[in-house]
Amino acid sequence: MAGIARSLFHLAWPVLIAQAAVMGSGVIDTLMAGRLSPEDLAAVGIGASIYASVFVTAMGVLLALTPIVAHHHGAKRFAEIGADVRQSAWLAFALSLVAMLVLRHPEPFLQLSQLSPAVEAKVRVYLGGVAWAVPGILFFRVFYGFTTGIGRPRPVMMLNLAGLLLKVPLNWVFMYGHFGLPAMGGAGCGWSSAVISWTIAITAWLWCRREQTYASYGVFSRFEWPRAAPLLELLRHGLPTGATFLVDVTAFTFMALFIARLGAETSAAHQIAASVAIFSFMVPMALGNATGVLVGQSLGAGDRRRARHAGLLGLAVGVGGGAGLGAIIGFGAEPLARAYTTNAEVAALAVPLLLIVALYHAADAVQAVMAQVLRAYKKSMAPMLIYAVALWGVGLGGGYLLGLTDVLGPPRGAAGFWIAAVASIALAATGVTVYFLGISAQKTDIPATTTP
């Protein structure tokens, strides 16, 4: 168990820093937009929610690469890793086209939120920028899945940190209109993200081509057109994962769109709470990623006992870390709200939401770890159903009833949505944990991934 703990730490801390850099970019957008106006903050929050619904779904499909690579690596099938990476790049290309089309035509999302014309105009400009970010980010996610699957997460950490360093100056350029560019306000955050995503994607693949430690995997050994069999294998595991992410993110997106009906100040307060929840999520996300890689490599090597021990260790650390970070959010609710905005009304509305976020994170940490462990076991269909029932049924449906109607008492506004979100994420965490405990105790072999 001590050896597993060392390996878990070795894999987790670079992913944690990498995730912190990604989440930090979102926090920077929120902080800089919040200092312009509540309308700019609301536009960035709503635009980011719509973008996340589209992008994270596509990214979820590509996440199938990580466990496939981990299984190959554990079984020492190195040449097959390169073949799967090449096919994943074609999949990323196809997903990029679909995502860009949806983001350039966001009318279905905007009709739900009933925005003022000023905020809607800012949201459209934001989405126009992040639409161009999608291909760069998805091609980078292929590199991410490849290098983390073989147990080398540090390049991702370094590249994400570089992207974070570019965020403030590029936001400054696009938001305030320098070097001949128009001043876009908060919507400029989307265009800065596009520049950063392409910069780190190109750098990542140039690094991969030149670095000798990647040579044995043969990613650039030959050119391949799309091939049906490996793409179907990726989709077989990736589509349920993408659907799970769609459920998760759209629950948040529709929550933000419904709350937008309550006014710019309430929407801005919700964006602060959501930003803290998402930023806090980076800790269990990193832990889950590292745990999933260890589980996948162990299964690829045929060691089910080590795979279960790695999963249980990740679960234990997730429970403890989630409770601790949740307590920090709860006790720091007021200073956190004031750090995000200078608007006293928005800060006052955000504080009670942050107290609920503290409870939300404690359960969110558990499901984040268990979801990635189940992907390592190549179990994605049952988790998808669990999340659909919990997040859409209990979370979004319950939030609408508690927040906007008097069916369950006086409407509670944004707080009603967050209360339902706590109940839904706790249900999801319980479901995926019980499922993991059941399948990890089975004696039958998990089939290894093959590339026809």
Task: Give dist(CA 138, CA 29) in Å, integer.
Answer: 20
Q: Is the pLDDT of residue 44 over 60?
A: yes
> For 11-31, what is each residue's pLDDT tens digit?
777 877 887 788 778 778 877
Q: Is the pLDDT of residue 184 over 70?
A: yes
- pLDDT attached to residue 95: 93
Task: Give dist(CA 41, CA 35) in Å, integer.
Answer: 8
User: Are the CB atoms for 403 and 353 separated by under 8 Å?
Assistant: no
* Closest C-alpha to 259, from 269, 249, 250, 247: 269
Task: Give dist(CA 63, CA 82) in Å, integer.
Answer: 16
Model confidence at 39, in pLDDT bands (50, 70, 90)?
Answer: confident
Q: Is the pLDDT of residue 444 over 60?
A: no
- pLDDT attached to residue 2: 61
Residue 398 corresponds to which tokens in the numbers above? Answer: 């319950």
Q: Is the pLDDT of residue 449 over 60?
A: no
* Closest C-alpha to 255, from 45, 57, 44, 431: 45
Task: Give dist(CA 350, CA 220) in Å, integer.
Answer: 50
Model confidence at 353, in pLDDT bands (50, 70, 90)?
Answer: very high
- pLDDT attached to residue 114: 66
Model confidence at 315, in pLDDT bands (50, 70, 90)?
Answer: very high
Average pLDDT over residues 30-37: 78
Query: Nearest 5°: CA angle at 23, between 430 and 150?
Result: 75
User: Are the CB atoms for 52 and 131 separated by under 8 Å?
Assistant: no
C-alpha to C-alpha distances, 120 to 43, 45, 244, nearest whole angstrom:
7, 12, 28
Query: What is the average pLDDT value for the chain, to the nearest integer?
Result: 86
User: 124: Cβ–Cβ under 8 A, 6 or more apart, which residues?
Assistant: 106, 110, 187
* Closest C-alpha to 233, from 382, 385, 383, 80: 80
- What is the radius of gyration, based on Cα positions, of the chain? 21
- pLDDT attached to residue 113: 65
Residue 21 corresponds to which tokens in the numbers above? Answer: 């850099």
Task: Give dist(CA 138, CA 347) in Å, integer.
Answer: 35
Task: Give dist(CA 444, CA 65) in Å, integer.
Answer: 23
Q: Kindly report which listed range (260-264, 352-356, 443-447) carries the lowest average pLDDT score.
A: 443-447
- pLDDT attached to residue 87: 93
Residue 29 corresponds to which tokens in the numbers above? Answer: 């957008």
- pLDDT attached to residue 204: 94
Average pLDDT over residues 294-314: 89
Q: Kindly report which listed range (10-24, 254-268, 388-402) carries the lowest average pLDDT score.
A: 10-24
CA 232, 233, 238, 243 dihedral sign is: positive
- pLDDT attached to residue 216: 86
Q: How many CA atoms lie within 13 A of 108 on its CB side?
A: 10
Task: Give dist(CA 254, CA 120) in Å, integer.
Answer: 16
- pLDDT attached to residue 447: 46
Q: Where are the beta strands (DSSP E) in 60-198?
A: none
Q: Kindly report which listed range (64-68, 163-167, 370-374) carries the lowest average pLDDT score.
A: 64-68
Percent of the chain with pLDDT strictly greater than 70? 96
User: Are the CB atoms for 157 and 14 separated by under 8 Å?
Assistant: yes
Residue 3 corresponds to which tokens in the numbers above? Answer: 């050896």
* Closest C-alpha to 266, from 41, 83, 56, 426: 41
User: Are the CB atoms for 54 and 284 separated by under 8 Å?
Assistant: no
Task: Give dist(CA 404, CA 126) in Å, integer.
Answer: 27
Q: Is the pLDDT of residue 366 over 80?
A: yes
- pLDDT attached to residue 364: 93
> For 79-103, what is each residue's pLDDT tens digit?
888 899 999 999 999 999 999 998 9
